[in-house]
Structure 1
Amino acid sequence: MSHVTRVAMWSGPRNVSTAMMRSWENRGDTVVVDEPFYAAYLLRTGIDHPGRETVIASQPTDPTEVVAALHAPLPDGVGVHYSKQMTHHLADDMDLSWTRDFRNVLLIRDPAEVVASYVRSRESCEPEDIGLLQQVRLLDALRSGDGTPPVIDAGDFLRDPEAHLRWLCDWLGIGFTPRMLAWPAGPRSSDGVWAPYWYDAVWRSTGFEPWRPREVALGRHDADVAEACRPAYERLAALRIRL
């Protein structure tokens, strides 16, 4: 691990996580991994997501095998390994000690905005679906080891992506490049097989979407889900990077 920077960006769904993955992949010295625990999550939970069987067939379903792959040697000339991780993909009883081999970052978003976006793609949403509760568990696990990981709020990030990316690169001890701010539109070979169901906006994008206020209107159940996750969000938001 000493000659390679391995970054694990932990998010919930419907955040800027896929655009963030595009940003890092566009560096040129970086390989990215898209949601490596997704198949294991679908198999373990039985949850019905779009393209479920295709996703399960596309990845290892044994978490131990996934962790081993995340530690695998990288191709020559690659100095940064970036994994886009979804915290809700982790089992509650999973030993998280392996995460200490990585430079971990928590990426958060206001739960009402997450739920509003999530239910546009799925009929139902529960607190466990949007990752914030699991991000708190991961925060506690990481704090018991090497200290508090950086927390980035998507709203703050989109107001000034360059400042946040420069901060992250400095924290990681790697150089920032303007290539992280723009990328070609379209799919990538690194995209998970679920991309056709979820990545339309990212495929159209050539950079980070400027921040704008969101009008959120939720039904009773979805509003209750967002409020159930708000204490977790507020705990994480109190630790967020402020630039």
Structure 2
Amino acid sequence: MAPIRIAMLSGPRNISTTMMRSFENRDDCVVADEPFYACYLKASGANHPLREETLAAQSSDWKTVAAQLNAREGAAYSFEKHISFHFAFAPDFDWLQGARIFHLIRDPRAMVASYKNKLDNVTPIIDSYRIQRRLYEQKPAPVIDAADVLRAPAATLRALCTALGMPFSEKMLSWPAGPRDSDGAWAPHWYDAVNASTGFKPYKAHELRLSRDLEDIARACKSDYDFFHSRTLVI
């Protein structure tokens, strides 16, 4: 029997890889790390870190990747980590058919500040929120906020698993440090913090000072973030 697909839609710099670690540490779950990243890089021409390595490691054909996701084996569940702006050039969203979707959100100001530390162009965060909202309005799905996950990991993940129709596992709360074979080719640039982690870090509020341009980008995301935040799971 094919695994039940769990598709997480998230913007960048949003504990998305930490969530992937959490699901991968279950006994009954395999993971797919940003399977459409090469498709996005080819379609957009974006010059991201480790671009050539990513294009060499993944198919850049949308239909091929979708077929691969539907053909996975070896576990009861297959967790898919998707960065939402990767679908800015997708021909359709048929690849989501049959998957149980949930949305991971984060305060846009925090996302902008974190993304800027790794990449100069942070405007794709706007696309991520717009794409997620468009998908939600077509098909409502559970929503969790990264801040809630960090404040109360067990309670938030229990609520998420219930909403997704799957059992919660205590193994989702901690994992061994280090990289994984399932990590994407881009991991050396992005995954230093998560590779050092063994669980969810306690939530800390930070006073952020952003440039005017970055504030403008965060402000452009605010209405979509507020839309999602008002729909987060009750813990």
Query: Is the alpha carbon distance of 1:193 and 1:219 closer, same or farther for their aligned partners in structure 2, counting shifts above 3 Å?
Result: same
CA contact (8 A) 1:19 1:208 kept: yes
Select which of 212, 215, 220 maps to 1:228: 220
Tell me the equivalent position of 2:107: 110
Tell me the equivalent position of 1:145: none
Q: Which runs of 5+ in 2 are unaligned?
A: none
Tell me the equivalent position of 2:85: 88
SS at match of 1:149: coil
Q: Identity rate of aligned residues, in percent? A: 46
What is the Cα deviation at residue 240 of structure 1? Answer: 1.1
Select which of 186, 209, 234 maps to 2:201: 209
- Cα distance in structure 2, aligned partners of 1:61 and 1:127: 19
CA contact (8 A) 2:9 2:101 kept: yes
Q: Which digits, 9 at most, give the CA deviation of each residue in 1:82-129, with x for residues without a partner?
A: 000111000356322331310000000010000000001112321556
- Cα distance in structure 1, aligned partners of 2:122 and 2:83: 16
SS at match of 1:101: coil
Alignment of 1:1-243 (within 5 A): 4-75=3-74, 78-92=75-89, 94-128=91-125, 131-142=128-139, 148-243=140-235
Q: Give the counterpart letter for 1:153 in structure 2.
A: D
Query: Is the alpha carbon distance of 1:207 and 1:104 closer, same or farther for their aligned partners in structure 2, counting shifts above 3 Å?
Result: same
SS at match of 1:60: coil
CA contact (8 A) 2:102 2:143 kept: yes
Q: Which digits, 9 at most, give the CA deviation of each residue in 1:63-86, with x for residues without a partner?
A: 1111111100412xx101100011
Q: Give the counterpart letter for 1:79 in structure 2.
A: A
- Cα distance in structure 2, aligned partners of 1:40 and 1:230: 28
CA contact (8 A) 2:10 2:16 kept: yes
Larger CA deviation: 192-201 vs 89-98: 89-98
Larger CA deviation: 8-17 vs 116-125: 116-125
Q: Which runs of 5+ in 1 are unaligned?
A: 143-147
Count of aligned residue pairs for this structure pair = 235
Q: Calculate the TM-score normalised by the size of structure 1.
A: 0.92
Larger CA deviation: 66-75 vs 86-95: 86-95
